[in-house]
Amino acid sequence: MHLERRLRTRMFTMLLASQFREFGPGSRIEAPFTFWGLNQMSVADKVYIQRDCWIHVVAGYADEKSVKITFKSHASIGKRTAIAAAQQVVIGEYVMIGSNCHVSDQAHAFTDLDRPIMTQGCDNIKPVSIGAETWIGNNVSVLPGVTIGRHCVIGASSIVSVSIPDFSVAVGMPARVVKTLGPDFAREQH
């Protein structure tokens, strides 16, 4: 069974790889995978996108020829995670994103009371960046305009609405920094 799944993933990845702007060696995508705008996504080496993810570029915003979603090398995206970009989302090297997460650089417009929300397009479009070596727990939402620093931990079920500095542990709704990682933290763990 495991071999069958690996072969299916390899075949599925081969079918999709040429549609991306860039697709690095050793990267793989598990089916099923829902997507839009692969030609505006860049995938570096050894990126792993697990099954049931929904990753898409929102058409009609910013430069239609630019790369709007970037996965740097060794990034790992958990099952059922949704990533959407109208302008730019960057996932850094060695980032681990848990299952059922949501990362978006935009929100639905909803202020026109005479139109259904689904017809109002996007607003609050601001780039999102997740720094290298960061771990995003399960069920986390990362909202527009957020920069998460390098080597951070974002606790499960957190909603990240403000930027998080390097070497931070942040939890909650909204997420707040509860600890800074450094030499003292490392000593405490031993």
Which numeric CATH code is attached to 2-188?
Answer: 2.160.10.10
Q: Which residues lie closer than 8 Å to 108 by C-beta, 6 or more apart?
A: 117, 118, 120, 121, 122, 123
User: What are the residue boundaries of the structural domains of the chain, listed by start?
Assistant: 2-188
What does pTM read for this prediction? Answer: 0.91
Tens place of pLDDT per residue across the chain (190 aa): 588 888 999 999 999 999 999 999 999 999 999 999 999 999 999 999 999 999 999 987 767 778 999 999 999 999 999 999 999 999 999 999 999 999 999 999 999 999 999 999 899 999 999 999 999 999 999 999 999 999 999 999 999 999 999 999 999 999 999 999 876 655 555 4
